[in-house]
Amino acid sequence: MADRQIDDPHSNGKIFKGDKTFQGTHFKNHDEARNSAKTSELNFGKRKRLQCYECGSFNHLRPQFPNFKTQKADLCRIGVNSEGSLLDPYTLEGRVNGFIYRMSILRDTGATIDVICQKYVDRDRMKGEHVWVRHLLDDRMTCLPVAEVEIECDLGTVTSKAAVIKNHLDQGRYILGNQTAALLQGVEKTKYLIDTGQNSEQIELYREEEEEVNSENKEVLPPVNPLAP
């Protein structure tokens, strides 16, 4: 029986089906592919030897590379002050509406009217007045009731008005606005004038006493004659 001739599109010549050369080459390539796969599996499980990432040497690693230069990092300590410590220079201690305990009074130069929490205001101090308040970062106006407040602190005691906010907005401080601050400055100025007047009277009384003592000394001591031996 004659061998059947077939065409191979990847070959320039003719290949016979029963050719032993074709069969041997086919099995040889199959064995090489199988051996290569086994070698890859063995290398995959094998631990790789460590070497330097910079130069590829097996004698040292990257941290021990002689020419490796590390950048020195500067360590900076940043201190953060709490909100309370930042507001201490502008905070007074005083009583509001006759409460027994003292509360913090924060001077706010950006507030026209005082602000107080509702829990510090009795109903009899609510006069039925309202004020429209606008925040710095909001264009909307907020309508708040106004109450009469009595403030007692180191600067003096005054009666003023404050906008009342809800209890959940309380931060434990009374916001002292510009109107009440002007009243306290007037009280402080009046107190200073009274103290100055008292000091002037004391100085005048001291001068009168000093003049009386000098006149008495002149009467006791006889006149001195410069021509006497």
Residue 144 pLDDT exceeds 90: yes
Q: Which is it for strands 14-16 and 5-7: parallel, antiparallel or unpaired?
A: antiparallel
Residue 141 pLDDT exceeds 80: yes
From residue 37, give the alpha-carbon distance in Å to each of 2, 27, 41, 46: 39, 16, 6, 14
The stretches of 115-228 forming alpha helices (DSSP H) are: 178-220
Residue 229 pLDDT exceeds 50: no
pLDDT of residue 196: 47
Give the pLDDT band (50/70/90) at residue 194.
very low
pLDDT of residue 79: 61
Residue 111 pLDDT exceeds 70: yes
Residue 125 pLDDT exceeds 60: yes
